[in-house]
Chain A
């Protein structure tokens, strides 16, 4: 069993347990396997961002960012 196969099997079991959804086709399993990259990308960000735990509102940020750098 490859690492990817184990990953897909584990995730499939988790999805069935938490959501009651089963893999609809082979494409679904392939795309699930691609999620290893998402885990890798998230892990690569650990400790690299300086705003780890700030409270935030995206809507407020949109309003605030609207005027950043605007020259009169």
Chain B
């Protein structure tokens, strides 16, 4: 058995294959992840809890199963850690909050069950924005998650720990959730790959709700291939989540071949590049050229209906989040961080007529958008975040001057429209800004075209090495 591999630096796919082939043990994978955790967690603050005892029991069981010649799943022996809002029977699920600091569900999320059936196990609950309600990674109760590329800067949120833990090689992949960008923002900010699937593509049973209309479950991992493998495991209809789509699930990994000939890639001339910072614009333009080098045709086009999308997306999740949290907001609002209750409060002012208008037009707007856009192009590429990442201090609503909230909320300007439209959208690393912080490229496709999105992301990663780089805390 090989011991010379830097096993925690392997991609999830390579790590799984190494376990399957007997090149490395499941225990060695776990030890490597925990070594990184022990070395860097004090700086990054990516976890809320770690269960080492059960982790070693799971790793030893995985090695024993392989030695016995049993059938092995596609994630056999992989230690994973997830945003601390995925229910696991008998384990803490704090949701990043004080209100649920002792919440231990007695059932598990479908996605947790599916990952387990594929051979993976979870060993940690990851830091996150309180109740998944900010895009920066601030957390008043468990401490802010810090960016491993440059510690004073934001990790993005709300799946802050998921992005930072994958980047810091604490885990090979992590589940995040995405209601307004909460997978893609930390993927971009931490230099990892993440995908928000099509609305309804992945079961939400056993996952803390924030917005019934816009919540999505998806992975953050090192590569597009890693995300493809996880998506093949977690996607598909779940009888326990009647809102999940009953659509066939392709083998996403099998469709990754690097060939983009015949693929039309759109670069919007409206909305997504408004007031974009130059390093971000340049990185995304360079990425479009890389995709063209793989055979894609790049098309510049205006996007329709963006005023309506921007207006409507602003009310749906806020009204739903306010509704879900209304009892706590009545009885003990002081238990929320200032910026969480402050953000939730205006949700009660949204008239039902606005909410209904926004939801009732969602389908027609999607069809009109798709008819105009996807007859011209197959995919859209945009900046995940328009600006170079700000610091935690500059976006600290609780302690900053009035107006701080505008910078903090603006982080998700480019991600939220795809939640309203329900489109599958990935973020892949495509460069670095002058502060040494990662820049994200957003790739969006037709509904249920996760395969096409991941195909383009994988093709891009065949010609670039941004996704292989390690954060400065690990190389210093």
Contacts and interface: CB of A to CB of B under 8 A. Distances in A.
B371 to A, nearest CB: 6
A31 B398 CA distance: 13
Given A30-B342, A32-B345, A58 B422 contact: yes
Interface in B350-389: 350, 354, 357, 359-371, 373-376, 378
Contact of B345 (A20, A31, A56, A60): A31
Interface in A37-67: 38, 41-42, 44-45, 48-49, 51, 54, 56-67
Contact of A42 (B311, B346, B398): B311
B237 to A, nearest CB: 12
B338 interface: yes
Contact of A31 (B245, B342, B350): B342
Contacts of A34: 346, 405-406
Contacts of A49: 305, 308, 361, 365
Contacts of A21: 326, 329-330, 333, 345, 348
Nearest to A41: B311
Given A31-B343, A63-B447, A69-B370, A14 B311 contact: no
A57 B363 contact: yes
B307 A66 contact: no
Contacts, number: 156
B315 A38 contact: yes
A70 B262 CA distance: 12
What secondary structure prevails in chain B residues at the interface with A? helix
B349 A11 contact: yes
A63 to B, nearest CB: 7
Interface in B9-37: none
Contact of B375 (A32, A58, A61, A69): A69
What range describes how many residues of B lie at the interface? 35 or more
B364 A66 contact: no
Nearest to A11: B349
Contacts of A35: 346, 349-350
Interface centre among B243, B364, B405 (most CB of A within 10 A): B364
Contacts of B345: 15, 21, 23-24, 28, 31-32
B299 interface: no
A65 B367 contact: yes
Contacts of B305: 49
Contacts of B402: 26, 30
B329 A24 contact: yes
Contacts of A38: 311, 314-315, 350, 354
A42 B357 contact: yes
Nearest to A55: B360
A56 B346 contact: no
Contacts of B365: 49, 51
Given A65-B367, A68-B374, A58 B362 contact: yes
A51 B311 contact: no
Given A68-B374, A69-B370, A62 B329 contact: no
B222 interface: no
Contacts of A62: 198-200, 245, 366, 422, 447-448
Contacts of B326: 19, 21
B391 interface: no
A57 B360 CA distance: 8
Interface centre among A31, A41, A64 (most CB of B within 10 A): A31
A32 to B, nearest CB: 4
Interface string B322-348: 000010011001101011011111101
B446 interface: yes
B249 interface: no
Given A35-B349, A63-B247, 9 more contacts: A19-B329, A21-B333, A28-B346, A30-B402, A45-B308, A51-B361, A62-B366, A67-B446, A70-B374
6 contacts: A19-B348, A58-B213, A65-B367, A68-B367, A68-B371, A69-B378
- A-B pairs, top 5 by smallest CB distance, nearest first, are A27-B342, A61-B363, A28-B345, A56-B363, A69-B374
Interface of B: 198-200, 213, 243, 245, 247, 262, 305, 307-308, 310-311, 314-315, 326, 329-330, 333-334, 336, 338-339, 341-346, 348-350, 354, 357, 359-371, 373-376, 378, 397-398, 402, 405-406, 422, 446-449
Interface of A: 11, 14-15, 18-28, 30-32, 34-35, 38, 41-42, 44-45, 48-49, 51, 54, 56-71
